[in-house]
Amino acid sequence: MKHSHIALIGAPMDLGAGRRGVDMGPSALRVANLNARLGDLGYEVEDLGNVPVVQPETEPAGNASAKYLPQITATCKQVADLVRQSLADGKFPMVLGGDHSIAIGTLAGVSKHFHDRAESVGLLWIDAHADMNTPESSPSGNIHGMPLACCAGYGPEELTGIYGFAPKVNSHNTVMIGIRSVDELERGVVHKSGVRAFTMRDIDERGMQAVMQEAIRIASAGTVGFHVSLDMDSVDPQEAPGVGTPVKGGITYREAHLAMELLNDCGLMTSLEVVEVNPVIDEANRTALLAVELVMSAMGKRIL
C-alpha cells in the first residue's frame, strides 16, 4: 500500500504484561527520532499522540485468568477507532506500543475498515511467542499472551467481538514468523486455529528470504493486503535487550532488516505496529533505535 501520509498512534499499554515498563515504549520510539526520520523518507507524519491508558496501580486486576480485561478492552476500542479513521482518511496507521495486547485493537480497526468494503485483510505476526493463549490455557492470565488468539476468534468475547464480528482475520491468511516460545496448552490452540507458523527452525533451515516470500504469499492470497505486527522480542536479545519477554535464539540484525525490506518491496502492507519496547531494561535506548531502523526499512529506506 503506497501512502504519503502516516498516522502515528501511541498506545502506552502496560496492563497486559507481567513485567512493567512497556508503557514507555511509545516515548522511547519518539525519542529515537521516529517522526523526523519518517519525514526524511518523504512521508507527511501526523502524530495523534497517545490513547489514554489507566495505570495498573489504580485499578483491580480482576479475573486472574484474564487480568485487566475491561481496561484493556476499553483501550483497544480507542486504538481500533483511530486506526479505522486513519485508513478511512487515506493514511497509513502506525501504532506504537505498549504491550502486545494493543494488537487486538489495531487489527480490529484495520479489519473493520476493509470488512465494511466486503474485503479481507491478512496478518503477519513477527514474534518470539505464539500469543495464542486463551484464559483457559494461559499460565499467567496476562492478556499480552492472548492477542493473536483473540484476532483469530478465540478468547474473551469482549476482545474477540469488537465491532460485532469475529474473527478479524482468516486463519489461512495469518502467518507467525520467528516463533520459539510456546506454552504447553497454547500449542493446542495454535493447531486448532490453522494459522501458519514459521518457527526459528524454519528460518534457520530455509533462510529469511524464502520464509518471508511464502509468508507474504499466504497473507495476501485473496486479500487486499496485510497488517504487520512486529514484536521487538522477535529479534535476538543480543540486538534487542529492552523487550518485555526476551527469548534467546532470535532473528538476527540482518535477518530483521531483510524481512522489513521484503515487506516494503511487495507493496501490500496496509498498516504496522511495533510493540513490547521496554526502556526500563534497555541499554541507552538501543532497542527503540533498532525498532526505528526496522520501521525505516519497512517504509522504504534503502542502502543505495
Segments in the chain forming alpha helices (H): 25-31, 34-40, 69-88, 103-115, 147-151, 157-160, 186-193, 200-206, 208-220, 253-266, 286-298
**Number of helices (H), then strands (E), in the chain:** 11, 8
Query: 134 and 149 in contact (C-beta within 8 Å)?
Result: yes
SS3 category, 23: helix
What values do phi and psi take at 7, rounded to 5? -105, 115
| Identified catalytic residue from 144, 186, 202, 257 | 144
| Identified catalytic residue from 3, 14, 99, 129 | 129
| Identified catalytic residue from 127, 236, 261, 273 | 127
- 129 an active-site residue? yes
Query: 97 and 273 in contact (C-beta within 8 Å)?
Result: yes
Query: 296 and 303 in contact (C-beta within 8 Å)?
Result: no
Q: How many CB atoms neighbour CB 55 within 10 A?
A: 12
| Identified catalytic residue from 23, 99, 231, 261 | 231
- 127 an active-site residue? yes
- 172 an active-site residue? no
The span from the CA of 236 to the CA of 239, in Å, is 6
- 265 an active-site residue? no
The span from the CA of 281 to the CA of 125, in Å, is 24
Task: Tell me the HSE value of 74 on the side-chain side, using a 13 A CA sphere.
Answer: 8
| Identified catalytic residue from 14, 23, 99, 131 | 131
| Identified catalytic residue from 3, 14, 23, 100 | 100
| Identified catalytic residue from 14, 99, 273, 276 | 276
- 233 an active-site residue? yes
Residue 17, Cβ density class (10 Å: 0-12 exposed, 13-18 middle, ≥19 buried): buried
| Run of H or E residues at 47 | strand 44-50
- 144 an active-site residue? yes
Catalytically active residues, by annotation: 100, 127, 129, 131, 144, 231, 233, 276
